[in-house]
């Protein structure tokens, strides 16, 4: 199985979202109702969204991802409009907004997963460490080794736990002790203690939360620079979600994490920077998470955060 085939298989689990992103009238957000606090007092609403919020400024570094007027179309439907932003190295950058606003589309621009969708067309520039990933000399497969991705629904391969993590190493010809790399990846994914004595078991036999952490281990085994996460906890129970959030914070010390989430409280808890996308594929505001939730610049952002729409 080639890298392109793996990427295509993984993308299949998210292609159903594309119709949502290209239809601004779509209403498929099942997470927002359960996570949006609908108080009358604006201050109470903000306080709920930012409860327990802390920012460690020391973890956020120089710009590693920079988009310049990125626009995306699916056939004649424009999903993103002139997105310009700079994502800092390390730390967690969250992207929030209602269904159909283009969050996941932008995420897929970073590692060129949209290339696998025939109807997709991308304009503009998106640089990783100063290099435009859409330059003709950039190999998308090599790019995806530097930019790992974890999808909304856990998608382990029908292989053993060990082989799920080691498979990418083998097909990419990664040198080194694969046993050690697999163990380190599982430890970083906070899964080793739970599976160390059953690495030969099928990964599909794990619980949903464990499967998602297995997918995270698979993504980081190749030692990427950036880890993309498309609603990684939306299909999990609260306990598994808490473990994923703790893991994201730990991983951000070593990797740049960019996460799409409908859960605004989650964004407030775990991210350093937040980008707010609104209907029409527009990036309305991008700033420190605390400022976004406590004192946004734009009225539309304030209205979204306080539950007046979305």
Give the model confidence (pLDDT) of 249-285 as tens digits: 999 999 999 999 999 999 999 999 999 999 889 999 9
106 neighbors 70 (Cβ within 8 angstroms): yes
**pLDDT for 108 beyond 90:** yes
Residue 46 has pLDDT above 80, yes or no: no
pLDDT-derived band at 307 (thresholds 50, 70, 90) equals confident
- Using a CB cutoff of 8 Å and minimum separation of 24, what contacts does 44-52 make? 45/305, 45/306, 45/307, 46/293, 46/294, 46/305, 46/306, 48/265, 49/264, 49/265, 49/268, 49/293, 49/305, 50/268, 50/290, 50/293, 50/294, 51/265, 51/268, 52/269
Confidence of residue 309 (pLDDT cuts 50, 70, 90): confident
Other residues' Cβ atoms within 10 Å of the Cβ of residue 286:
18
Q: Could you tell me how many residues make up the chain?
A: 310
Radius of gyration of the chain (CA): 19
Is pLDDT at 92 greater than 50 in this prediction?
yes
Phi-psi region of 90 (alpha: psi -120 to 50; beta: other; left: phi over 0): left
Could you tell me which residues come within 8 angstroms of residue 84 by beta carbon, excluding any fewer than 6 positions away? 67, 68, 69, 70, 283
The confidence band for 61, taking pLDDT boundaries of 50, 70 and 90, is: low
Model confidence at 25: pLDDT above 90: no
Q: What is the mean pLDDT of residues 27-45?
A: 37
Q: Give residue 123's Cα distance to chain centre.
A: 21
Mean pLDDT of 143-153: 93
pLDDT at 42 exceeding the cut of 60: no
Mean pLDDT of the chain: 84
The mean pLDDT of 175-184, rounded to a whole number, is 93
Give the residue, 18 or 61, on which the prediction is more confident. 61
Q: How confident is the model at residue 198 (pLDDT cuts 50, 70, 90)?
A: very high
Whether 173 has a pLDDT exceeding 80, the answer reads no
User: Can you tell me the mean pLDDT for 275-301?
Assistant: 95
Is 92 strand, coil or helix? strand
**Lookup: tokens for 24:** 């601004």
Q: What does the pLDDT read at residue 310?
A: 58
Evaluate if residue 62 carries a pLDDT over 80: yes
Look at 22 and 237; give whichever has higher pLDDT. 237
Instruction: Give me the mean pLDDT over the 192-196 stretch.
Output: 97
Q: Does 154 have pLDDT greater than 60?
A: yes
């Amino acid at each position: 199985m080639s890298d392109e085939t793996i990427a295509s298989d993984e993308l299949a689990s998210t292609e159903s979202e594309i119709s949502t992103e290209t239809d601004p009238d779509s209403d498929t957000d099942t997470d927002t109702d359960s996570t949006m606090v609908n108080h009358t007092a604006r201050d109470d609403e903000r306080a709920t969204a930012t409860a327990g919020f802390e920012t460690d400024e020391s973890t956020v570094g120089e710009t590693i991802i920079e988009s310049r007027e990125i626009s995306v179309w699916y056939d004649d439907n424009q999903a993103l409009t002139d997105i310009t932003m700079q994502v800092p190295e390390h730390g967690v950058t969250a992207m929030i907004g209602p269904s159909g606003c283009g969050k996941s589309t932008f995420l897929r621009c970073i590692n060129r997963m949209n290339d696998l969708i025939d109807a997709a067309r991308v304009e503009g520039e998106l640089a990783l460490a100063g290099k435009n990933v859409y330059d003709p000399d950039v190999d998308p497969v090599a790019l995806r080794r530097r930019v790992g991705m974890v999808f909304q629904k856990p998608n382990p391969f029908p292989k053993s736990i060990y082989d799920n993590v080691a498979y990418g190493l083998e097909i990419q010809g990664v040198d080194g002790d694969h046993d050690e790399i697999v163990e380190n990846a599982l430890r970083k994914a906070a899964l080793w203690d739970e599976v160390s004595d059953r690495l030969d078991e099928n990964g599909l036999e794990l619980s949903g939360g464990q499967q998602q952490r297995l997918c995270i281990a698979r993504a980081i085994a190749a030692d990427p620079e950036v880890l993309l996460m498309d609603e990684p906890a939306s299909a999990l129970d609260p306990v598994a979600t808490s473990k994923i959030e703790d893991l994201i914070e730990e991983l951000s010390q070593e990797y740049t994490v960019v996460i799409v989430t409908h859960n605004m409280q989650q964004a407030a808890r775990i991210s350093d920077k937040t980008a707010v996308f609104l209907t029409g594929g527009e990036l309305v505001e991008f700033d420190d998470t605390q400022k976004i939730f406590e004192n946004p610049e734009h009225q539309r952002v304030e209205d979204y955060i306080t539950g007046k729409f979305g």
